[in-house]
Amino acid sequence: MTILIRILISVLFLLYFNACIYSNVKAPGPINNTTPFVLTTEDFKILGTVETEGIYKAYFFLVATGGTGYEELYSRAKEMGGDDIINHVFELEGYSIVTFIYNEGKWKARATVIKYTEKAKPKN
């Protein structure tokens, strides 16, 4: 009888935690198109769009690599001669193994590059 109870508990445990053992999710990320100040189309000129992609990995929630999406978009915008990026969007595809042991996320990022006009340039 105890063997049957152990098997039943093991099966229930696996059914309950099956999403924790392995999961795979693909979803669009959040869109950030808000600013703490009001910009009008007279304040900037659109130079184009930048895109980048990468892989984020985390081991035991202690070591993480590859989470540099915004920095890569910003540096590509600077290479184009832009001052800033707006309307950045991240698309995420991630999976994990036993939730906390290994997590990996593939991300694609896109943003609009802008160049401020003289009247709207931030003063440092």
Compute CA distances 104 → 2, 9, 92, whole Å: 39, 30, 10
pLDDT of residue 90: 86
> Which 3 state secondary structure label does DSSP give 12?
helix
Q: CA 56, CA 74: separation in Å to the nearest integer?
A: 18
Strand order in the sheet with 44-59: 22-32, 84-97, 102-116, 44-59, 63-65
Among residues 105, 43, 101, the alpha carbon closest in space to that of 68 is found at 105
Amino acid identity of 14?
L
Q: What is the pLDDT of residues 1-44, one digit of tens each?
A: 688 888 888 877 766 665 566 666 666 666 555 666 677 888 99
Please state the domain extents for the chain.
Answer: 21-120
Q: What is the pLDDT of residues 43-94, one digit of tens each?
A: 999 999 999 999 989 888 788 888 788 899 999 999 999 999 988 888 888 8
Amino acid identity of 6?
R
Amino acid identity of 70?
Y
Among residues 45, 40, 27, the alpha carbon closest in space to that of 89 is found at 27
Token pair 């696996």 is found at: 14
Amino acid identity of 116?
Y
Specify burial of residue 61 (Cβ count, 10 A radius: 0-12, 13-18, 19+): exposed
Say which residue, 83 or 124, is predicted with more confidence. Answer: 83
